[in-house]
């Protein structure tokens, strides 16, 4: 592996000059910088990122914590975060918490030890105080504790109202709410919006509680539609 000393020798400059050029710190003449760039290309030099991270305490890595990446909601969100991060020169480190306080603690410690530049929480932290005391910026998205952390969210109440209104304007009047067992804030807000708009339209709410056992969900769905054959639209608030 090529070393910084070999780059300096090839470029005819000091190691310190190469270091300043690589780190964009201090003065490096245009001629010296050009020589260094050519030497790096010729020798295929790759900076030691671990050493640079330790020196600068900056890794250009953003930690992303989600409950479970297999949930259909999170892959698209993760891809969007990664695309933007890449454009800005950052790498995303994806972590699945599985709702475990122990895993969350491990990820937090790993982020600290590896000097991540920030973290995005798309889950409800089990130990919010620990994240609040982290030595890097933390932002919540969608599911996290929106009152304690800076957050990026949508107006779920108004979104649910708009969805119900759209179904009604499309000719539906027997609009059922698909309600899971999740009590996360976004879902509760969607439930609220559904009930408020159904009341505004003088429509009777119809609730299908899915629970969290996928094995019996199909059977429950058959029973539900047998009981409510008049249902002509579904508002899926959670999966």
**Residue 152 has what pLDDT?**
86
Is residue 56 included in any domain, yes or no? no
CA–CA gap between residue 70 and residue 40 (Å, rounded): 42
CA–CA gap between residue 40 and residue 24 (Å, rounded): 15
16 in Cβ contact with 5 (< 8 Å): no
**Residue 95 has what pLDDT?**
93
CA–CA gap between residue 17 and residue 46 (Å, rounded): 16
Residue 177, H or E segment: strand 175-180
3-state secondary structure of 77: helix
Name the pTM for this structure: 0.65
Identify the band that residue 232 occupies on the pLDDT scale cut at 50, 70 and 90: very high
Q: Which of 48-52, 112-116, 125-129, 170-174 has the lowest mean pLDDT?
A: 48-52
Query: Which residues lie below 8 Å from residue 128, measured CB to CB, with a gap of 6+?
Result: 145, 148, 149
Of 107, 131, 152, the residue at which a domain comes to its end is 152
Closest CA to 123 of 145, 107, 102: 145
- ∠ CA 37-40-42 to the nearest 5 degrees? 105
Of 122, 152, 182, the residue at which a domain comes to its end is 152
CA 176 centroid distance within chain: 30
Query: How many separate domains does the chain show?
Result: 3
233 in Cβ contact with 177 (< 8 Å): no
**Residue 129 has what pLDDT?**
78
Q: Which domain holds residue 176?
A: 156-236
Look up the CATH number of the domain holding residue 176.
3.40.50.2300
Which residue in this structure is represented by tokens 């059977």? 219
Same domain, 105 and 172: no
**Residue 173 has what pLDDT?**
94
Over residues 136-187, the pLDDT tens digits come to: 888 888 765 656 778 888 899 999 999 999 999 999 999 999 887 667 778 8
Average pLDDT over residues 82-97: 91
**Residue 123 has what pLDDT?**
80
**Residue 65 has what pLDDT?**
93
More confident residue, 180 or 212: 180
Same domain, 209 and 181: yes
Is residue 52 included in any domain, yes or no? no
139 in Cβ contact with 151 (< 8 Å): yes
């Amino acid at each position: 592996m090529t070393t910084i000393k070999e780059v300096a020798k090839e470029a005819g400059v000091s190691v310190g000059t190469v270091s300043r050029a690589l780190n964009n710190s201090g003065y490096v003449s245009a001629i010296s910088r050009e020589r260094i760039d050519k030497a790096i290309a010729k020798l295929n030099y790759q900076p030691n990122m671990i050493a640079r991270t330790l020196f600068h305490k900056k890794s250009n890595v953003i930690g992303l914590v989600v409950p479970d990446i297999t949930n259909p909601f999170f892959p698209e969100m993760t891809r969007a975060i990664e695309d933007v991060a890449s454009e800005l020169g950052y790498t995303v480190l994806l972590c699945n918490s599985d709702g475990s306080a122990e895993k969350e603690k491990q990820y937090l410690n790993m982020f600290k030890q590896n000097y991540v530049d920030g973290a995005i929480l798309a889950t409800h932290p089990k130990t919010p105080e620990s994240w609040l005391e982290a030595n890097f910026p933390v932002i919540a998205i969608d599911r996290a504790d929106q009152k304690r952390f800076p957050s990026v969210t949508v107006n779920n109440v108004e979104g649910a109202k708009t969805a119900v209104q759209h179904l009604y304007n499309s000719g539906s009047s027997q609009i059922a709410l698909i309600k899971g067992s999740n009590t996360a804030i976004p879902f509760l807000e969607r439930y609220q919006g559904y009930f408020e708009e159904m009341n505004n339209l003088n429509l009777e709410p119809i609730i299908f509680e899915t629970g969290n056992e996928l094995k019996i969900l199909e059977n429950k769905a058959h029973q539900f539609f047998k009981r409510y054959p008049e249902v002509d639209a579904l508002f899926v608030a959670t999966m």
